[in-house]
Structure 1
């Protein structure tokens, strides 16, 4: 793959194959040279085989400093007086989604609506939007769920190769805030280690911005 001069210049700043996490975050913020505010991303490879149900990770984490991104929240429910959501509906919203009209970033559903939502799995699943009790998106306490996601709660999961991709802020954040968010993700992934995991759990943990090279973290040097 041909790399741009900008990318190669940034790559030259990564002097070591592995960095202490706090130092890696500082370096990452110095590498953001795009003309827009880049998102900071964590890419975590775990020693898991997701084809087995007991080797899958799906959970949520509340980032103490949020993601820096405004999200649109949709709610499928028969409850009335739902506040804080961008879209609210029941069968009508399910019908809208069935036409692949997806204009939201987070979908919350009440348990009584899940039979209808389940029919939308082929549309919602590939987009990572299928509600689940594990992710806090199937609940009777809709107001609490909306508030949590507004404050910076995000869902993450292993993909088909056992990798977790999760944003943890923007390069405009204070490095200390980015680091705090990163620590929250690391602790959450540890706390949600699946029962089928064996051997060394962490294989690699790298961070990058939208447009930068990746920086690999030393898992033994968290502060």
Structure 2
């Protein structure tokens, strides 16, 4: 990962256009090719970004006090993120290595185990390929096939929020590059799914499934007749 603190302006050119005026910002350039621009607020959310596949071109640029222009071009859409750099205060690179992925707590780990055992909870005709399916950015909770034989990637959470949908989106982008299993669709499964996460999932073609932990364990709720 490369971390750059620079005084720069940022322009996004694509289906929409956006402009960030000159200011001091953090630029993250990751090993997967993604580039994101951050301010000193907004928690983890970038001001603007470009997801892979994309390429970064750095070139000198002497105009209006600038010293360089960085152009990030998306390999499929051709959209561009253009950083006009006026000053670089910090520029370092670090090799982080392969990330082991998010460690599930006891309930999430048990949910994964139970859903893998009762995979038809997702629908009749579903079959398990494997749990913890490995990818370059971490393991997918469950990889399975639906009744039509299509590959399905399942991301499990106790509480389903937007960051879980984003995580599954990244997995799907990677999995769909593999011709042996593509096309791969996504299922976001949780005991509770926030409305905002449902909206984002629907926008990205991801199905949402609410899981009953007790039902998966074979426990009937008090007052249940069947």
Give me the TM-score of the superposition, normalised by structure 1: 0.25
Higher helix share: 1
Which structure is richer in relative contact order (CA contacts within 8 A, separation 6 or more)?
1
Higher Rg of the two aligned structures: 2
